[in-house]
Amino acid sequence: MQDIMPPMGAGAQLIQSYGAGGFRIGNNIYETHVLVLPDATFVWNGEWSVDAFAAILNATPLPEVLLVGTGARHVMVPPLFRHAIKTREIGFDSMDTGAACRTFNVLLGEERRVAAALLLPSA
């Protein structure tokens, strides 16, 4: 059998699982909303404010793209927040949390500078 998973560094924040009870990221369990960078994961309060996204907006280098997982279903992200992210020249895409997790892992495997903001999917 051929291993198709690209090699990841020891600190890679691969999203291993997700559900209503939380996320398993880089072999750690998070039972809350999270902000994920390629090398670190942070607890997120779920607020749509620039201050709540400081971990991502202060990352060096800045991510190329921010994926937003909006829960079990895709919902629109507040326009003022989308605008604040785009003015920092960070690409932006929102989708349901499952799709955001899968997309994050693909981009991480391609060694892209990706970030994700993931709301817990409701039960």
Taking only the tens place, the pLDDT of each residue in 56-105 is 999 999 999 999 999 999 999 999 999 999 999 999 999 999 999 999 99
d(CA 29, CA 52): 21
pTM: 0.91
- Are 100 and 23 in contact by the 8 Å Cβ rule? The answer is no
Return the percentage of the chain with pLDDT > 70, whole number. Answer: 91
Token couple for 56? 């991502």
- Are 17 and 105 in contact by the 8 Å Cβ rule? The answer is no
Residue 85: CB atoms within 10 A of its CB come to 22
pLDDT at 67: 98
d(CA 91, CA 26): 24
Instruction: Return phi, psi of residue 8, to 5°.
Output: -120, 145
Domains (range + CATH), the chain: 28-118 (3.40.1230.10)
pLDDT band at 3 (very low <50, low <70, confident <90, very high): very low
Question: Strand 65-69's sheet: what is its strand order?
Answer: 40-43, 34-37, 114-118, 65-69, 91-95
